[in-house]
Amino acid sequence: MRLKNLEINGFKSFSKKTTLEFESPIVSIVGPNGSGKSNVVEAIRFVLGEQSMKSMRGKAGLDLIFKGSKKLPAGSRASVTIYFNNKDKIFKLSNENGENINLNYDIISISREVYSDGLNKYVLNGGEVRLKDINNLLASVNIGSSGHHIISQGEADRILNASSKDRREMIEDALGLKIYQYKIKDAERKLERTTNNMKEVFLLRKENAPHINFLKKQVEKFEKAKEMKVDLLNFYNEYLKKESVYLEKEKHTLGVEKNKILNEITEINQKISSVEEENPAAENKNNEELRNLENKLREIRNVKGELDRKLGRIEGMIEMEERQKEKPVKSENISIHREEAENFLKEINEYLEEAIYMDVLENIAPILGKVKDIVNRFARNFGEETQPNNFSNQGQIEGLKSTQNEILTEVDKIKIEENKILDSIEKIKEKISKEIEDRHEGEKEKFTWRVRHQELSSSLQLISVKEENIKRENENFENEIKEGGALIGGDIFSYKNFEFEGMPDRNNQEEMRRKIERIKIKLEDAGALGGSEILKEFEETTERDRFLAKEMEDLETSINSLRVLMTDLKEKIDIEFKDGIKKINVQFQELFALMFGGGTAHLSVIVESRKIKNEEDGESNPEEDKNIPLEQGIEIGVSLPHKKVKELHSLSGGERSLTSIALLFAMSQVNPPPFLVLDETDAALDEANSRKYGDMLEKLSKRSQLIVVTHNRETMSRAGVLYGVTIGADGASKLLSVKFDEATAIAK
Ligand code: ATP
C-alpha cells in the first residue's frame, strides 16, 4: 500500500493535529453532515498541490485555516502532511536537466502549509521545494494534478460534465501521461529560453560583426605593416650603416684637414710675427749709430775748422811778421798778402760749404757766426797794417811757427779721425740700405704669408661650413634612428651589424632615404603603432565570436534536440493515449454493462480545429481562413440498455453517477493510481446499484487504495477501517476510529 497516513493541522475545521492511518485497502470516513469529512478530502487535495480554491470551497488561503470558534481561537496557519511508502523507491524527481532521479527515502512525506497572508510552502521530506517539484514527484506515481482520482462531493459526474479537453487531461493523468506533458512543458520553456538565447547571441554577433570587420581590416593593415617593417628594417640596416660610415669618415677627414690648416696657420702666424719683431730693432740701432757718427763727424769738423782758422791766422801772422821784417809798409798803401787773402777766402769757403751741407737750420747759424768772426778778424788785421811795423822780430815768428806746427799735427790727427768716421758712416749707410732691402724682402715674404693665411682662413671657414653640414647630417641620422626606432623598435640598431666598407655614394643614400620616407608614411597611415593591441583585440573578439558561433551551434543543436524530444514525447503521448483509450474502452464497456445490465459505452478521440482568419491586406476572406488543428478531446458515447437516450445530459442523476463511476473505475483499472478518494460518489445510488458499487470498490481496491466518504451502509461494509468524524462542542472536527455498527450510527 502506497498511502500511509495523513496529518491535518489547523486545516479548515481540524483545529488540532489529526492523523489518519490508511492501513486498509478501503478506508471509509463516516460522520454526520457538516462534521468535516469533506474537509479531509480537501486536505488531501490541498497537500497534493491543488491550486483551485474553488475545488477546496474557499476564496483565499485564509479560508483554509481554522477560523476559530466560541471556544477556540483562530489559527494562523494550516498544514497537511501526507506520507507515502517508498520502499520500492518508485518516487522520482526531475533534476535541472530533466532527468528523473529516484528519491532514496523509504517514506516520502509531502507537506503543504498555508499562512493567513495566503503564502504557501511545500516541503518534501523536510526540505522546501517548489509546487512544480511536487507535481513532478506525484506524476511519477500516477497522481496527476487533474485530480481525477479525487472525486469530491457532488462531483461524481464531474468527468461527464467536463469539457472534452478537460476529459482528455483527466485521462492523460489517469494513464500516467502527465509526466510527459510536464516534460513537454519543460522542453517548451527550455525551447523558449534557448530561442531567446539564440536571438541574443545572434544579435550580439550581428552587433559585433562591423567591429570584427573593422578589426580585420586593421589587422590586415597591421600584417601589411609588418611586411613593410621588414622592408624598412632592411633599408634602414643598409642606409644607417652607410650613413654612419659616411659621417665617421667625413668627420675624420675634416678633423685631419682642420688640424693641418690650424697647424699651418699657427706656423704662418709665428713667421709673420717673427718678421715683424726682427726688422724694426735692427733698423733703429743702425740709424742711431749713423746719427751718432754724423754728430761726431760734425764735431770733429768743427774742431778741424777751428784749427784751420787758427792755422790760417798763425800763418798770416807769420807772413805778416816776416813781411814787416823785410819791407815796411806804408800805411797809406794797403797791401794784402796773396796767401793771406787766399787763406781768408779758403776759410770762408769751407764754412760756407759746411753750411750748405747742413740740413738743420739751427746748425747753420753758428757756422755763419764763425764766418762773421773771420771777416772781423781779417778787417782788424787789415787795420793793423796801417800801423808802422815797429814790433817785428824773429822770436815772435818762431813762436808762431811752433804753434803752427802744433796745430798742423792736431789737424792731421783730426783728419785721420775724420776719415775713420767717414768710413764708419759709409759702412753703416751700406748696412742700413741693406737692412731696408732686407726689410722689403721681409714685407714681401709677410705678404705672401698673409695671402696664404687668408687662403687658410677661407679653407677653415669652408671646413666650418662642412662641419655644420656634418653636424646637421649627424642630427638627421640620430633623428632617423629615433623615428625608425619608434616604428620598428630596438631592431633599428641592427644596422651596426650590416657589413659595408668603402665610401657610400651620396646619391644612392638619398635615393634610399626617400624609399625609407615612403615606407614610413605608409606605416604611419596604416596606424602600425597600436598594431599589437589591435591584433590582440581582434584575436579576442574573433575568439569570442567563434565562441558565440559555437554557442549558436550548440543552441541550435539543443533547439533541434528539444524539438525532437517534444515530437517524440508528443508521439509517445499520442501512441500511449490512443492505446490507453482502447484499454479504457474495454474496461468502460465491461463496467458500464455491469452497472446497467447491458448497453454500450465508449470514449472517442475528437480533434477540434479552429479557424484562423486570413487578414492579410487587412481584408478578411472567410474562404481563405485557415483551420488550425487543436489538441485532441475526448467524447463519451453511451447507450443504455432498453433506452434510446444517448445524450449524456439526458441521463438521470443515478445514471450519470453510475456512468462516471464506471468510467472512473475503468480508467483506474488500466493504470491504477496509488489511491482513489471518493467523496459520497455513491450518494445517488439505490440499494441494488450500491451493491454493484461496493463490488467494484472491492475489485478496485486490489490495485488502488480507496478512501471513501460515505453515508452508505453498503459502502461502509466494504471498508477495512472506518473513521468517524464528529464536530465537538468546541466547534472543531474530531476523528475517531469506529466499528461498523458505530459507523452506521455515526453516519446518521
Ligand atoms: P456533509 O456530510 O454534509 O457533506 P461533511 O462532513 O462533509 O458534511 P464538511 O463539508 O467537511 O462536512 O465540513 C463543513 C464544516 O466545516 C462546516 O461546518 C464549516 O463551518 C466547517 N468549516 C469549513 N471551513 C472552516 C474553517 N476555515 N474553520 C472552521 N470551520 C470550517
pLDDT of residue 142: 78
pLDDT of residue 334: 65
Cβ atoms of 706 and 697 within 8 Å: the answer is yes
pLDDT of residue 632: 75
Q: How far is CA 150 from the centre of its chain?
A: 67
**Same domain flag for 426 and 287:** yes
Is 97 contained in some domain?
yes
How large is the average pLDDT for residues 230-251?
Answer: 93
Pocket lining: 34 vs ligand 1, CB cutoff 6 Å: yes
How large is the average pLDDT for residues 35-58?
Answer: 91
For position 725, which CATH number holds? Answer: 3.40.50.300
Handedness of CA 582, 586, 589, 595 (dihedral sign): negative
pLDDT of residue 388 exceeding 70, the answer is no
Q: What is the 3-state secondary structure (H, E, C) of 673-717?
A: CCEEEEECCCCCCCHHHHHHHHHHHHHHHCCCEEEEECCCHHHHH
pLDDT of residue 281: 64
Q: Name the residue among 242, 64, 57, 52 with its Cα closest to residue 147.
A: 52
**Of the ranges 197-206, 308-317, 477-486, 685-694, which one carries the lowest mean pLDDT score?**
308-317
Confidence of residue 627 (pLDDT cuts 50, 70, 90): low
How large is the average pLDDT for residues 574-602?
Answer: 90
Name the percent of the chain lying above pLDDT 90.
37
pLDDT of residue 218: 82
Is 19 contained in some domain?
yes
Pocket lining: 39 vs ligand 1, CB cutoff 6 Å: yes
Cβ atoms of 603 and 634 within 8 Å: the answer is yes
How large is the average pLDDT for residues 525-547?
Answer: 80
**Same domain flag for 414 and 286:** yes
pLDDT of residue 407: 87
Within a 13 Å sphere around the CA of 293, how many CA atoms are in the beta-carbon half?
19
pLDDT in tens, 65-112: 999 988 899 999 999 999 999 999 989 887 766 677 778 899 999 999
Torsion of CA 319, 324, 325, 327, to 10 degrees: 120
Say if residue 428 is exposed, middle or buried (CB neighbours under 10 Å; 0-12, 13-18, 19+). buried
**Same domain flag for 116 and 265:** no
- Please give the DSSP secondary-structure letter assigned to residue 177: -
pLDDT of residue 625: 55
Place of cell 697647424: 263
Q: What are phi and psi of 333, to 5 degrees?
A: -100, 115
Pocket lining: 37 vs ligand 1, CB cutoff 6 Å: yes
Is 171 contained in some domain?
no
Q: Candidates 11, 18, 28, 35: which one to mutate for ligand 1, based on the most atoms within 8 Å of Cβ?
A: 35
Say which amino acid occupies 39.
Answer: N
Say if residue 184 is exposed, middle or buried (CB neighbours under 10 Å; 0-12, 13-18, 19+). buried
Pocket lining: 730 vs ligand 1, CB cutoff 6 Å: no
- Please give the DSSP secondary-structure letter assigned to residue 331: T
Ligand 1 atom nearest 42 alpha carbon: 11
Higher pLDDT, 372 or 122: 122
Residue with the nearest Cα to atom 21 of ligand 1? 13
Residue with the nearest Cα to atom 24 of ligand 1? 12
Residues sharing a CB contact under 8 Å with residue 739, sequence separation 6 or more, in sequence order? 722
How large is the average pLDDT for residues 249-256?
Answer: 93
Pocket lining: 12 vs ligand 1, CB cutoff 6 Å: yes
Pocket lining: 33 vs ligand 1, CB cutoff 6 Å: yes
Alpha-carbon distance of 52 to 59, in angstroms, equals 9
**Same domain flag for 421 and 291:** yes
- Helical axes 178-326 vs 506-525, angle rounded to 10°: 150
CB atoms near residue 193 (< 10 Å): 13
C-alpha cell at 323: 813781411
Is 48 contained in some domain?
yes
Is 260 contained in some domain?
yes
Residue with the nearest Cα to atom 31 of ligand 1? 13
**Same domain flag for 401 and 276:** yes
Pocket lining: 35 vs ligand 1, CB cutoff 6 Å: yes
3-state secondary structure of 25: coil
C-alpha cell at 196: 531567446
Within a 13 Å sphere around the CA of 527, how many CA atoms are in the beta-carbon half?
12
**Same domain flag for 294 and 413:** yes
Is 369 contained in some domain?
yes
Ligand 1 centroid distance, CA of 11 (Å):
11
Pocket lining: 122 vs ligand 1, CB cutoff 6 Å: no
**Same domain flag for 275 and 131:** no
pLDDT of residue 609: 65
Pocket lining: 57 vs ligand 1, CB cutoff 6 Å: no
For residue 72, what are the domain limits?
Answer: 1-141+674-748
Ligand 1 centroid distance, CA of 57 (Å):
10
3-state secondary structure of 125: coil
Ligand 1 centroid distance, CA of 300 (Å):
185
pLDDT of residue 747: 64
**Same domain flag for 413 and 286:** yes
Q: Where are the extended beta strands (E) located within 86-179?
A: 92-94, 100-102, 107-115, 120-124, 127-129, 150-151
Cβ atoms of 634 and 606 within 8 Å: the answer is yes
Pocket lining: 15 vs ligand 1, CB cutoff 6 Å: no
Is 87 contained in some domain?
yes
Q: How far is CA 80 from the centre of its chain?
A: 62
User: Distances in Å between the alpha carbon of 179 and those of 175, 189, 193, 194, 633?
Assistant: 10, 15, 21, 22, 18
C-alpha cell at 721: 477501517
How large is the average pLDDT for residues 353-377?
Answer: 80
Confidence of residue 312 (pLDDT cuts 50, 70, 90): confident
Alpha-carbon distance of 129 to 35, in angstroms, equals 33
C-alpha cell at 578: 490512443
- Buried (b) or exposed (e) across 91-115, using 16+ Cβ within 10 A? bbbbeeeeeeeebeeeebbbbbbbb
**Same domain flag for 135 and 254:** no
Pocket lining: 323 vs ligand 1, CB cutoff 6 Å: no
CB atoms near residue 230 (< 10 Å): 12
pLDDT of residue 467: 92
Ligand 1 atom nearest 67 alpha carbon: 28
Place of cell 751741407: 357
pLDDT of residue 4: 94
**Of the ranges 271-285, 305-319, 343-357, 393-407, which one carries the lowest mean pLDDT score?**
271-285
User: Distances in Å between the alpha carbon of 349 and those of 299, 374, 738?
Assistant: 18, 11, 205
- According to DSSP, the residues that pair with 611 across neighbouring strands are 627
CB atoms near residue 474 (< 10 Å): 15
Alpha-carbon distance of 108 to 130, in angstroms, equals 16
Pocket lining: 734 vs ligand 1, CB cutoff 6 Å: no
Higher pLDDT, 366 or 265: 265
Number of domains, the chain: 2
Q: Which of 453, 488, 518 is the last residue of a domain?
A: 453
Ligand 1 atom nearest 65 alpha carbon: 27
How large is the average pLDDT for residues 26-37?
Answer: 93
Q: Which of 453, 476, 509 is the last residue of a domain?
A: 453
How large is the average pLDDT for residues 285-314?
Answer: 85
3-state secondary structure of 611: strand
Ligand 1 centroid distance, CA of 659 (Å):
28
Is 426 contained in some domain?
yes
- Buried (b) or exposed (e) across 555-576, using 16+ Cβ within 10 A? beebbeebeebbeebeeebeeb
**Of the ranges 144-148, 164-168, 351-355, 365-369, which one carries the lowest mean pLDDT score?**
144-148
Handedness of CA 73, 79, 80, 84 (dihedral sign): negative
Pocket lining: 13 vs ligand 1, CB cutoff 6 Å: yes
pLDDT in tens, 421-452: 999 999 988 988 888 888 788 888 888 888 99
pLDDT in tens, 107-147: 999 999 999 988 999 999 999 999 988 988 988 887 877 66
Ligand 1 atom nearest 58 alpha carbon: 24
